[in-house]
Amino acid sequence: MPAVSKGDGMRGLAVFISDIRNCKSKEAEIKRINKELANIRSKFKGDKALDGYSKKKYVCKLLFIFLLGHDIDFGHMEAVNLLSSNKYTEKQIGYLFISVLVNSNSELIRLINNAIKNDLSSRNPTFMCLALHCIANVGSREMAEAFAGEIPRILVAGDTMDSVKQSAALCLLRLYKASPDLVLMGEWTSRVVHLLNDQHMGVVTAAISLITCLSSKNPDEFKTCVSLAVSRLSRIVSSASTDLQDYTYYFVPAPWLSCKLLRLLQCYPPPEDGAVKGRLVECLETILNKAQEPPKSKKVQHSNAKNAILFEAISLIIHYDSEPNLLVRACNQLGQFLQHRETNLRYLALESMCTLASSEFSHEAVKTHIETVINALKTERDVSVRQRAADLLYAMCDRSNAKQIVAEMLSYLETADYSIREEMVLKVAILAEKYAVDYSWYVDTILNLIRIAGDYVSEEVWYRVIQIVINRDDVQGYAAKTVFEALQAPACHENMVKVGGYILGEFGNLIAGDPRSSPLVQFNLLHSKFHLCSVPTRALLLSAYIKFINLFPETKATIQEVLRSDSQIRNSDVELQQRAVEYLKLSSIASTDVLATVLEEMPPFPERESSILAKLKKKKGPGAVSVELEDGKERGELNGGGDRGGDAAIAASNASTPSPSADLLGLRSTAPVSGTTPSAGSLLVDVFSEAGPSATSAGVNDDGFLSSAPPTVASEDPAPPLPESDELLNKFVCKNNGVLFENQLLQIGIKSEYRQNLGRMYLFYGNKTSVQFVSFNTTVSCPGELQSQLNVQTKTVEPLVEGGAQVQQVINIECLTDFIDAPLLNIKFRYGGALQNISLKLPVTINKFFQPTEMAAADFFQRWKQLSQPQQEAQKIFKASHGMDTEVLKAKLLGLGTALLENVDPNPENYVCAGVIQTKAQQVGCLLRLEPNAQAQMYRLTLRSSKDTVSQRVCDLLAEQF
């Protein structure tokens, strides 16, 4: 150590930095750095001892060089040496170097950890803080491993200085975030909570960040913090602005701490203790009151701090959602911000209001601000604020103001930013559908939507219009008229053409009476758009034309002419060409009766969740679901069926929504089945899917062809079960998956899973031929008393199974009480006109509902003895039909569903199992003993259970297995 202190100026460093700054080019800089590095290297050579000041200076220079982007591969040792210095400045530089240039050299790490440990155990608070900061800055796993145990001790120790406690809390927070598994909860956790009561506000602020993070992971352990936080909050809120001295920020007492407290409270539900709750409500009221007071300062910091607390309080109020009074007040205060000069405040107010709108208590209060919000949408300069305004309008919309809001949103759409147009379109479409009382209004709105923002109207939106028009008789004529008028515009969007084509094709006849919209006029209007459209639209238009032929026979010649033209019949696109050819033939060959049947009006669509809603959800992510759930509840209004609302809500909360294309394609299925025919995907927009190429390939005479009515179920009685079905049944006693049945035509695969008294079975019907099965129908029946023992629910399968395709059927099984028989599966379908009828036994046996039970030898024998009544026991002695391999035997016994108990039976050759059969009515304990006799190739099987029928049945089943 030199006698004279050179101060902290570090002139050499300043000179070096200014040299670097003055360098004209990169090369010059590199030269200067190389020179300096050589100089430092010669100083660090080791033959002369460096004093602390120089060491610090050179380490600083190295750090600077490193931060300029050059590699540093030495100097770590000197930095570590600095750590053991007693001077603050030297120690600080040492820590700085270490935390910037972390080195994985294990030798060094050991030294560093040692130095940190020394500092942590020193009584000097500044050194402790430096060490803690270094740990937090590095924050690596190694650091966590070394110090995760030490820091909580420092944090909760009674004699630790306040400033050290602060650092320790934040350091621990950092380590916890980096490697949560290493920071173990312990007895310190409860003491951490009590830091909320600390005298020092800084400690409380630091501790609360830690507690918030910890309690979000394990809320139960920190439950006590709620009351502490509330009391702390109330002390701050009720204090005068001068009470907290250092922690008063522009006349606001401890704003950061207040915000953090409020945020911590948001991790928990409203306090159950009445007193605490009362105090909290009082606090929140005070905060709301204070926000109303005239500002104590004109400075922006003052209002920022005040508003921060206010907004945090409002989010807490929204989080609790239980105090109508507070909610309404919050809403009114936010209303004042809607016209505030500050853009940020307006944004925040709109955002918070969106959540308020979803609360039943404040929905009405939010609605009073509709004019302001609409104004914001129109005049706001900032696009993100406009977006929020649109969101809020969407959230506050209900039956009373729907017309106004939809009109405003539509008019805004014309000038809206491109980035939010698609979302706006979806919202308008949803609102229009949800609150449509008058369906002509709905049709007008959507057509307007397509007109204004056609590019942003997704497929789902126009699918939905068509679905609704088809399902509502009263609006069809109006829709046809409106569409016809809309199409008359010189330039109309392709989506409009699609809607127009579809609706005129279906309901053109409703307006054909008017000479201005006579059939030929309609056709010419549609055809004038034909050449400007893309291939899928043209395909749709061709289908509309064939429908025209049916609706208006007088247009037949004209349309046939069009279809016959080279541009159609020799179109390079295969889809268009095929349609043109088939429609032309159809129109010329088929009689009017056939035509009328084939081209009958589309049947109503099955009601289901609006695909638009699903799309919006996908766009917005899971955050928006809460609003959407609300939608689901109210959807019943529109879609007729009153009890559908609940279903929709469930569907809405379900993440996987049905694929949108299924909406128009799955016309004939009464319920969507996930495994539809593979060719369906290619006909994405083919709304007349019956007329598609796949159907025609089956031949014109097929009675199923082009009939849009639901398929008639074959009326023949189910065939008796196949003779081999009992054998099939035995195959599945010990396994759950496999092939159940196979012949030349059909293969049935099975996959099943059981839990307690419930089971689910997936049946896969594979068409092995290249020709489709028509009228495919399966039924599951429970003969005789099985009906009361087993509850079987099936979902209907698609009536068409394409050649080579596979369809899936789900069967849900509930075991009410024990049973003996198996349910019957009857399959009927037409293959090439001939009716096929197959009956099988479904492999549902009583042992499927086994729950394995582990028990010790003593337990086993005690229970065994308890079940000693003669009818409780079933015994069979039989000859082995398969080999007596132990592994195979074990696998079979496990497959049975019971637990295989080892070391129970005194004879190791014997097998002992235990299990409980779960039925809805009761649980039947079951013990099993299998004694093989290798010489005689015989088995003795003994079963004891609390119910005689069960013992007998399981014994019978099992005897077939060995």
Cβ proximity to other proteins: between 105 and 933 the closer is 105
Distance CA 165, CA 19 (A): 42
Q: Where are the alpha helices (DSSP H) in 806-880?
A: 857-866
Q: Minimum distance from CB of 70 to other proteins (Å)?
A: 11
Instruction: Return the residue of 13, 17, 50, 108 that touches other proteins, per CB under 8 A.
Output: 108
Q: Minimum distance from CB of 147 to other proteins (Å)?
A: 23
- Residue 45 in the binding site for other proteins (CB under 8 A): yes
Instruction: Return the residue of 16, 44, 439, 688 that touches other proteins, per CB under 8 A.
Output: 44
Cβ proximity to other proteins: between 72 and 185 the closer is 72
569-574: long-range pairs with CB below 8 Å, 24+: 573/535
Q: Minimum distance from CB of 65 to other proteins (Å)?
A: 13
- Residue 419 in the binding site for other proteins (CB under 8 A): no
Of 87-106, binders to other proteins (CB under 8 A) are 103, 105
Site string for other proteins, 179-218 (x = CB under 8 A): ----------------------------------------
- Rounded to the nearest 5 percent, the helix, strand and coil shares of the chain are 55, 10, 30
Distance CA 205, CA 198 (A): 10
Cβ proximity to other proteins: between 37 and 629 the closer is 37
Burial of 406 (0-12, 13-18, 19+ CB in 10 A): buried
Q: What are phi and psi of 752, to 5 degrees?
A: -140, 155
Site string for other proteins, 3-32 (x = CB under 8 A): ---------------------xxx----xx
What is the number of other CB atoms lying within 10 angstroms of the CB of residue 486?
20
Beta bridge partners of residue 748, listed in sequence order: 741, 765
Instruction: Return the residue of 6, 11, 22, 38 that touches other proteins, per CB under 8 A.
Output: 38
In sequence order, what DSSP letters do the residues of 338-378 get, joined into one string? TT-S-HHHHHHHHHHHHHHHTSTTTHHHHHTTHHHHHHHHH
Q: What is the CA radius of gyration of the chain?
A: 39
3-state SS, residue 739: strand
Cβ proximity to other proteins: between 81 and 747 the closer is 81
Instruction: Return the residue of 41, 399, 585, 890 that touches other proteins, per CB under 8 A.
Output: 41
Instruction: Return the residue of 11, 15, 22, 34 that touches other proteins, per CB under 8 A.
Output: 34
Identify the DSSP state of 793.
E
Instruction: Return the residue of 17, 37, 50, 894 that touches other proteins, per CB under 8 A.
Output: 37
Which token pair is 64? 């600077």
Give every CB contact of residue 442 below 8 A, 6+ residues apart in sequence: 432, 433, 436, 465, 468, 475
Q: Minimum distance from CB of 24 to other proteins (Å)?
A: 6
What number of CA atoms fall less than 13 Å from residue 638's CA on the CB side?
28
Angle at 16 between CA 15 and CA 19, to 5 degrees: 85
Distance CA 870, CA 49 (A): 97
Cβ proximity to other proteins: between 37 and 185 the closer is 37
Beta bridge partners of residue 879, listed in sequence order: 938
Cβ proximity to other proteins: between 26 and 879 the closer is 26
Of 732-751, binders to other proteins (CB under 8 A) are none
Cβ proximity to other proteins: between 76 and 830 the closer is 76
Cβ proximity to other proteins: between 74 and 88 the closer is 74
Q: Minimum distance from CB of 35 to other proteins (Å)?
A: 4
Interacting stretch for other proteins, rule CB under 8 A, among 36-44, 290-298, 465-473, 839-847? 36-44
Q: How far is CA 309 from the centre of its chain?
A: 32
Of 55-84, binders to other proteins (CB under 8 A) are 69, 73-74, 76
Cβ proximity to other proteins: between 43 and 620 the closer is 43
Give every CB contact of residue 198 below 8 A, 6+ residues apart in sequence: 162, 165, 204, 207
Q: Minimum distance from CB of 25 to other proteins (Å)?
A: 5
Q: Minimum distance from CB of 178 to other proteins (Å)?
A: 24
Contact 326, 284 (CB under 8 A): yes
Q: Minimum distance from CB of 33 to other proteins (Å)?
A: 8
Task: Kindly compute the dihedral angle of the four CA atoms of residues 524, 529, 532, 537, in this order, to the nearest 10 degrees.
Answer: -110
Cβ proximity to other proteins: between 50 and 108 the closer is 108
Q: Minimum distance from CB of 97 to other proteins (Å)?
A: 13
Distance CA 715, CA 706 (A): 21
Cβ proximity to other proteins: between 73 and 643 the closer is 73
Q: Minimum distance from CB of 115 to other proteins (Å)?
A: 17
Q: Minimum distance from CB of 49 to other proteins (Å)?
A: 16
Distance CA 232, CA 261 (A): 8
Cβ proximity to other proteins: between 74 and 878 the closer is 74
Chain positions contacting other proteins, by CB under 8 A:
24-26, 31-32, 34-35, 37-39, 41-42, 44-46, 69, 73-74, 76, 103, 105, 108
